[in-house]
Amino acid sequence: MAKRESTFKNMVLVLFIITLITSVTLGYVYEVTKGPIEKAKLTKKLTAIKKVVPEFNNDPDADQFNVQLENGETLEVYPAKMNDSIVGYAVKTFSTKGFSGLVWLMVGFDTQANIIDISVLEHKETPGLGTKMDDESFKAQFRKQNPSTFNLKVVKDGGQVDAITAATISSRAFCDAVEKAYQAVKKGGKQ
């Protein structure tokens, strides 16, 4: 077989074929994985809701509503019901004040706006420092507290939250996200 001459036209043709094959392959992989990824996200969200609110028998995802805060941010609120009576609210909340970006939490409240539990959904905080926000010892100080009387700021800022050692910024972001969740429940949690 004769060797082909390396011309601009041949190079463009080969590059086009490689690009076409790659894009078709990526499109196929995206379509194949889209469903399982969405299912995994839903499962993670429902697991977090179950962790932070009392036992319920409704579908909180179907009953979900949005609450817009004073600053224009919108949070998702998932009412937990037992036989059509509200037993609590799970609020998917976030803070942009993390050391390495966004911190996502699921915060559970009872009908009196007391914190039941908190589940860390996602963050990019420093391993070994900011990641301790998911430790039981840190989250325990929030349980059974009502943010109307419990100052959701770290002690260093005049609040009542003991910050994670060497991770004050992450602790502040955690408190900020919980405060937003409380504002959402206070504003729209009576549905």
Q: Which pLDDT tens digit goes with each residue over 132-173? A: 888 898 999 999 999 999 999 999 999 999 888 888 899 999
How many whole angstroms separate alpha carbon 169 and alpha carbon 175? 10
DSSP-based three-state secondary structure for 168: helix
Whose tokens are 């770290």? That residue is 154
Average pLDDT value for the chain: 90
Q: pTM for the full model? A: 0.80
Rounded Cα distance, 118 and 45, in Å: 12
Whose CA is closest to 138, among 123, 122, 154? 154
Residue 70: count other Cβ atoms within 10 Å of its Cβ.
Answer: 7
Which tens digits make up the pLDDT trace of 168-180?
A: 899 999 999 999 9
